[in-house]
A and B are shown apart, each in its own frame.
Chain A
Amino acid sequence: MNAPSMRTASLAILRRDLVLAWRRRSDIAMPVLYSLIVTMLFPFALGPEDTLLQRIAGGVILVTVLLAMLLALDAMFASDIEDGSLEQLMLAPQPLALMLAMKILAHWLTTALPLIVITPLLAAMLHLPAAIIPVLLLALLLVTPLISLFGAVLVALTAGTRRSGMLLALMLLPLCVPALIFAAGAVAAAQQGLPWLAPISWLAAVLVLALVLAPLACAAALRIALDS
């Protein structure tokens, strides 16, 4: 058997998912528009008062990005289960966890990265000082992959259940609380001129752990989901 190398297989899956996302570009635009509109509501609701908006800006953006990602999470494996691609992926002579890691990476690139790109715009809408934006971006670069990885495991666990979208939100949001606290803590510390490296380091450590464990958990959960 001359099974293709893991590199070839990983690239094939990554390429496929990115091409599929590009063919459905409007789906990529949805979370971006959603987070723009939600962030826009805050100055309307709270009044254009600089100090108040500055104080809540970091938290508002983090929560908005989290909710926007939740919108797109549901679809991570749904179409693959429906059309049988996931079965074929499971039968391929490649480690399923690695293939799923590629799918999660593609999902992050197509949903989280556009959100991170527009973050400076969101920050400007809430009058966040320009000096704080790099810290916010760094926090988002660590938090969003975490949400993707946690989310992927939960999507895999709820695969096949009805109304999994609502269930997913109920399960994922509490799980994200610690990550949110660290990320918001880093932004708040930066705003007060305090050192912000410690919470960022914690996030990075958890991310490394999740990078290793989440794809394995995801693979196990999906094998169980299809085994019925």
Chain B
Amino acid sequence: MTVAHAAVPLLQARALSFYRQDEPVFAPMDFLLHAGELAVVEGDNGSGKTTLLRMLAGLLHVGGGELQWRGERMQRDTCGGEILFLGHQLGLKGDLSPHENLRVVTGLHGCRDGVTVTGVLSRVGLRGYEDEPVRRLSAGQKKRAALARLLLVPATLWLLDEPYANLDRQGIALVNELLEKHTADGGAALVTSHGAVSFHGGEPRHIRMHA
């Protein structure tokens, strides 16, 4: 991360909005996200948190306003591979084991230096479940298998939709640890949550959404 980059926000939204059947899903939003920052997107059910994250990931088109990535208009090929999105659907194949699922992930997105699939799985607490088909795992264990992607894939911006759902206390602590390490390393993260979230280091930015 160079000094010049630090001045330019990683992600900038100006009057960002999205329409579904000509109805705005959320009020126009403005926000900045710098490298090393963590922002929590808050809002009631149906306030458009998931829609916002899917739009930032590039799965939905920008309805109105402007979205900039490192100071330039956001396009799929300019930020390809730098954004990691973890949605409600975890992207795991039920018939494959966590190990096999993550092997596919590394094949598609690449792998951080010095990180192995086995090591990552034991880090998220799935030691002993590496070769069990994912469909036999509990909801929390599935979530952990999906979270292993965060440790495995090199990405600058994490977009995490309800990362705490289904997790036990240790799992929540794990997510917090991962987020802390990621922002300390110069990454940024946008996390949605409708529950109270406590972080170790500092108070995160809050982005409030209104329907």
Contacts and interface: CB of A to CB of B under 8 A. Distances in A.
Interface of A: 1-4, 8-9, 11-13, 15-16, 19-20, 23-24, 79, 82-85, 87-94, 99, 226-228
Contacts of B107: 4, 8-9, 11-13
B81 A1 contact: yes
B59 to A, nearest CB: 6
A87 B89 contact: yes
Contacts of A83: 89-94
Contacts of B140: none
> Main SS of chain B's interface residues?
loop
A94 B105 CA distance: 12
Contacts of B84: 91
Given A93-B81, A226-B59, A85 B110 contact: no
Contacts of B108: 4, 9, 12-13, 88-89, 92, 94, 99
Interface stretch (B35-43, B95-103, B167-175): B95-103
A84 B80 CA distance: 18
B95 A20 contact: yes
Contacts of B59: 87, 90-91, 226-227
A8 B89 CA distance: 25
A227 B108 CA distance: 22
B191 interface: no
Contact of B96 (A1, A20, A228): A20
B58 interface: yes
Interface residues of B, number: 32
A81 B89 CA distance: 9
A4 B105 CA distance: 10
B34 to A, nearest CB: 19
B184 interface: no
A1 B107 CA distance: 14
A13 B58 contact: no
Contacts of A2: 110, 154
B110 A4 contact: yes
A4 B109 contact: yes
B130 interface: no
Contacts of A79: 93
A2 B91 CA distance: 22
A9 B105 CA distance: 9
Given A2-B110, A13-B104, A92-B108, A227 B61 contact: yes
A91 B110 contact: no
Contacts of B60: 227-228
Given A19-B96, A85-B91, A92-B108, 7 more contacts: A1-B154, A16-B93, A85-B92, A88-B85, A91-B58, A92-B109, A228-B20
A1 B110 contact: yes
B178 interface: no
Nearest to A226: B59
A70 B129 CA distance: 37
B12 to A, nearest CB: 20
Given A12-B104, A19-B96, A93-B81, A84 B91 contact: yes
Contacts of A24: 95
B8 to A, nearest CB: 18
A84 B109 contact: no
Contacts of B83: 91
